[in-house]
Each structure stands twice: as C-alpha cells, then as structure tokens.
Amino acid sequence: MKLQGQVAVVTGAASGMGKAIAALYAQEGAKVIVSDINAEAADVTVAEIKANGGEATVVVANVAKEEDIQNLIDTTVNLYGTVDILVNNAGIMDNFEAAADIEDNQWERIFAINTTSVMRATRKVLPIFLKKKKGTIVNVASAGGLNGTRAGAAYTASKHAVVGFTKNTAFMYANDGIRCNAIAPGAVETNINSSMTNINEFGVGRAMSGLNINPRVGQPDEIAKVALFLGSDDSSFVNGTVIVADAGWTAY
C-alpha cells in the first residue's frame, strides 16, 4: 500500500474527483478526512470507504470560510495526531462570463472557494509539516489554469492563481521536506456543472471552438490515480509541477 498509515485531508470529497481521490487513498492505506459542505453526501462517501475496509471520517466544511478551514485541520489533528497529505480539491465553476459581464459577488465567491481556500488550508497545515520536516500538498487546478478559455474569466483567473501559488509554495519549502504539486484536469465527468446557474451565451459561444476539439471526457478515477502518484513517495522528486490530465486536449 502506497499510503499506509498516512493521514490525508481531501476537500470536496463527497462527489466527483474528490470522492474518487478519497476512496483510492483509503484503499492505499491512508486514514482519510472526507471534507465537504454536503454532509449527507460526505457520509455516503465514508460509508463506502468503510464498507471496502478503509478508514475515513467526515468533517463538514465550507472552504470559503476561514473558521471552517481551521476546524477541518484542528479536528484532523485531534483525531489522528497529524496531517501528512492535503488535497485541495473543492471548487466551483463560473457561468462562462467574459470580463464585461462579471459581477463582483460572483468573482469573490469563485476566488473564495477555488483560490483563497487553497491558501488558507496550506497556511494551516504548514506548521505541522515544518515541525516534522515532511508533508505533501496536492492542488486540483484545471486546464483552465493553463489556458485562456476553458471557462469564464473568473474561473480561469482563479485556477491560474492556484497554479502560481502551487509553484511558489513548492519552491519556498523545498528544503523542508515539503512538496506541493497540482493536477490540471481537462473535462471530467463530475457534478461541478451543477454550480453553474445561468450560463452566459456570449462566453460559452466563444469557448465552444475549444470545447469541440476535446478528445474525450475523463472519469474521476483517472484523476484520482494522478493524485495518488503525487500524494505518495512515487513522486518524491516531483515538486512545483502541474500534471495535465486531459487526454491531449491542451496539446492541440
């Protein structure tokens, strides 16, 4: 088992990629904190993990709230004594709004969930990692964090910020046994589209030329395998990088 005895926190773990990551981590021997704003769905994830012989616990958190991030990590430490792996997976889409159509509250909400939560959770675990000179952070960015039009301007900017934050964190703490990498998934079959409420016709119309060249849609378990690689010692020499998992979409 690649994560035997490790303690992993996975945000947005009640569905989609987060659920697949939590399940695979548990299968590989990790004690997993399943964090999500949806308590009922998180309970289902934990029940499934336990049914398969794994160990997991729900900690409900709205990652847009600093107090919830604090409680998430504090609860993990109280339960398991430490944190070894942090997976910042929670995220939402925008509505494909181009710059002229962005509203402040939408911009701020997207950044709070997609970007500020990554900073806050990282900031919270770093003292733990620094004390033991070891720790791993896996951020779920996006192909939209590397290119211009996989979504609207707010989502695109938020995920570009995650990529930059990942690289900065990796280099800053590289001499302290801490690694920080990111995954940039392409289109993956999850429920993230449910966070879209009123799709912007202009924005999605402009994006369609790029969407039409996507080779295929991925599955959550395909992203989970990348997260396992980055979370385990298999990637011990990998730091500050972004692994694109998109079936070749961005290769065009």
Which residues have a catalytic role annotated? 155
Distance CA 127, CA 198 (A): 41
User: In 123-139, which positions are buried (b, 16+ CB within 10 angstroms) versus exposed (e)?
Assistant: ebbbebbeeeeebbbbb
Q: Following CA atoms 155, 112, 200, 208 in sequence, which dihedral angle do they give, to the nearest 10 degrees?
A: 20
Q: Tell me which residue has tokens 């911009």.
A: 107
The vertex-149 CA angle with 143 and 150, nearest 5°, equals 45
Phi, psi at residue 201, to the nearest 5°? -65, -40
